Structure 1
Amino acid sequence: MTTSPLSRTESFVRIIAAYVVALVVGVAWLWWGPAAAWLWLDALIANVLATLVVFVASRLHHNSSFYDAYWSVVPPLLMLFWWLESPAGLGEPRLWLVATVVVFWAVRLTGNWAYTFPGLHHEDWRYPMLRERAGRWELLVDLVAIHLVPTLLVFGATLPVYVAVVRTDRDLGWLDLIALLVGIGSVILSLVADTQMHRFVRVREPGQVMDRGLWGWSRHPNYLGEIGFWFSLALFGLAASPADAWWIFAGAVAMLVLFLTASIPMMEQRSLERRPGYQDVVNRVPRLMLRPPRRATG
């Protein structure tokens, strides 16, 4: 006897329920677990435990896309925990700027996920590909590569927020303004790029490729906005603690490397295989940074 696929609403309910359980587990650790020597380590342990809950839900539903929204849900929660534990409380001006950028980004990215997610009958095409390549190690790859590594990457890139929370002895300055403008501008860039792509998908012909609007100036403007957001957090951390400049950009650089070496190449290869006309876009449109496209030759 076969069961019918879950509806979109049922899928959302199950994902939200899993995330609530994950949040409860994380908060329970922070409340009752042994305190670590550093506040950031407490948050990391709670984050990993919550990720394990989402991983279990993914395995139970045979769908690793259970994890997709976790990417954008966790940074605001980390920020809130650190903020509540901050000696400066809610009165620190820099934290309000950081919160503005983080919440704007989280709402935009989570909203885009919710808008495009059809339900748990669908799974991101990259996940089964990774599991199939892993063979008998597929469970380990699912746990580590699909769940834990992204959690650690996001946590590392969010650490400048922790610095901004705990280092409150420096007044706002010009670097904070730059960080705010970079952060808001980057989120707007991703928002506009995604909106343009959604409109294109609704009317495109079979095999047609997107080279309009921002997508005519960059093959991945949404990724460029995502990268810019993480660098804006690093700038906030630098503004709060210049002495930490030696490591403060590590998380943002790791995100940049992830997009350049994994996300973009995988998307490009898939587009080339599915849409022959995409090669023309590759020849004319920059890979990541925005600039006018080259003229077609021949």
Structure 2
Amino acid sequence: MGRNLKNAAIAFLVPLPSILFYLSFLNHYYDSAILDTDSNIWTWCYHHPLLLLNALLFLNVTLLFWVVGLIQCSHWMIDLYWTVIPLMLVHYYASHPWGECNWWRSRVVIFLTWLWSVRLSHNYFRRENWQWGARQDWRFTNMSLSYGNHWWWISFFTVYFSQQLLLITLSLPFYAIHSVNKPLSMMDLVATVLCSSGILIAYFADTQLHNFVTRNNNLKYVGKPIVPVLDKGLWYYSRHPNYFGEQLWWWGLALYAWNIGYGWTLVGAIGNTLCLAYVTKLVEERMLRQKNRTEAYTKYQKTTSIWVPWFKVFDPSGVRNKNA
């Protein structure tokens, strides 16, 4: 209980420097008639929203989170904050006085981002048995074993700096949406449907995965064999429907930006898809290394779409996978 409360307190306190600095900037802006006449840090913050955001993320997340992770010997916090940083970023762009936007488009995107964040945060805490910082991502643990004594500095780049780059590029549609005031169009409706579908698909896929893991843990507890592969519900049609839903969400956001003339912001969705492709490879390799799952998962791979939900196919022997 003590460790859980300590980690909860850390999670709430660590982002305060950037939040307080930004609120101070807004206070100075609204107290000043014209910032352009002042050559000071607040003027710079007004004219350079992207640079300001990068600076805040670098100092308060990349650097400070890394230091906290080294002290605690666990990089759990970046996994938790992935669920809320995009929400903070959309409010940053929406409140920054430099930009302009279509009010309805902005509010719809903010509302959807809240849904996405609540969904992902709920899944994080449900997976961690409602504890703060109980463990770090298994990939970080594997990397720490691989890099040994060099992990302390390598973790800065692999865990934090690389994720800042991904967060910044993924959030570029938020910047685009709050940089131009263009009327709503049918493409906004399509983007809204994509984002909403992504959130729903990811929620149901994660819930089905959670129930599957819980059931297997109960089977282990009573000494019974586990079910080797989840192939029910959405997982019947896709090996990674949760990743598919997550991609729909980010591609839907990119469509909002593309529709208003900011097609270059697609770079974030493209980068995220490439990252998820690599993560998918790691997850599947991990499944195949587990002897009690190797045979069943190999058959599952042969008959089931990797991302996009689709109908089952026949394996090379002409016999449908028994798990289907």
Task: Determine if the TM-score, normalized by the shorter chain, exceeds 0.5.
Answer: yes
**Quick check: 1:144 aligned with 2:164?**
no
Q: What letter is aligned with 1:271?
A: M
Partner of 2:226: 206
Secondary structure of 1:149's counterpart equals helix
Name 2:283's counterpart in structure 1: 267
Stretch deviating more after TM superposition (20-29 or 183-192): 20-29
Q: 1:88 to 1:141 in 2, by over 3 A?
A: closer
Q: Does 1:294 align with 2:313?
A: yes
For 1:182, the aligned partner's letter is L
Map residues 29-178 of structure 1 onto 2, 5 A cutoff.
29-30=21-22, 31=24, 34=41, 35-36=44-45, 37-51=47-61, 52-86=63-97, 92-118=103-129, 119=131, 120-168=133-181, 170-178=182-190
Residue ranges of structure 1 left out of the alignment (5+ in a row): 1-6
2:269 match? 252
**Structure 1 counterpart of 2:247, from 227, 232, 239:** 227
Are the counterparts in 2 of residues 71 and 150 from structure 1 also a CA contact under 8 Å? Answer: no
Cα-to-partner distance string for 1:44-92 (whole Å, 9 max, x where unaligned): 2111222122222222221112221111211111111211124677971
Query: Matched residues in 2 for 1:201 and 1:97: separation?
Result: 34
Whether 1:183 aligns to 2:195 is: yes
Indicate the larger mover: 50-59 or 79-88: 79-88
Contact 1:217-1:293 within 8 A present in 2 as well: yes
| Percent identical | 22
Distance, in Å, in 1 between the alignment partners of 2:297 and 2:189 is 39
Per mean C-alpha deviation after superposition, the further-off stretch among 229-238 and 248-257 is 229-238
The DSSP-based 3-state class of the residue aligned with 1:210 is coil
In structure 2, C-alpha distance between the alignment counterparts of 1:15 and 1:150, rounded to whole Å: 21
Write the letter of the residue equivalent to 1:253. Answer: I
How does the TM-score come out when normalised to structure 1?
0.88
SS in 2 for 1:248: helix
Corresponding residue for 2:221?
none
CA RMSD of aligned residues (A): 2.1
Kept in 2, the 8 Å contact 1:284–1:295? The answer is yes
Amino acid paired to 1:53: L
**In structure 2, what is the Cα distance between the partners aligned to 1:286 and 1:100?**
31
Once the two structures are TM-superposed, the CA of residue 289 in structure 1 deviates from its matched residue by: 1.0
Q: CA deviation at 1:136?
A: 3.4
In structure 1, how many angstroms separate the alpha carbons of the residues matched to 2:134 and 2:112?
33
What SS is found at the alignment partner of 1:249?
helix
For the residue of structure 2 that corresponds to 1:264, the secondary structure is helix
Q: What residue number does 1:4 align with?
A: none
Letter in 2 for 1:281: Y
Q: Considering only CA atoms, is the larger Rg found in Structure 1 or Structure 2?
A: 2
> How far has the Cα of 1:150 moved from its partner?
1.4
Question: For this pair of structures, how many residues does the alignment match?
Answer: 285
Cα offsets for 1:12-51 (capped at 9, x unmatched)? x333322333321112443369334421221121112221
List alignment gaps of at least 5 residues for structure 2.
26-39, 217-224, 320-324
Distance in 2 (alpha carbons) for counterparts of 1:21 and 1:158: 23
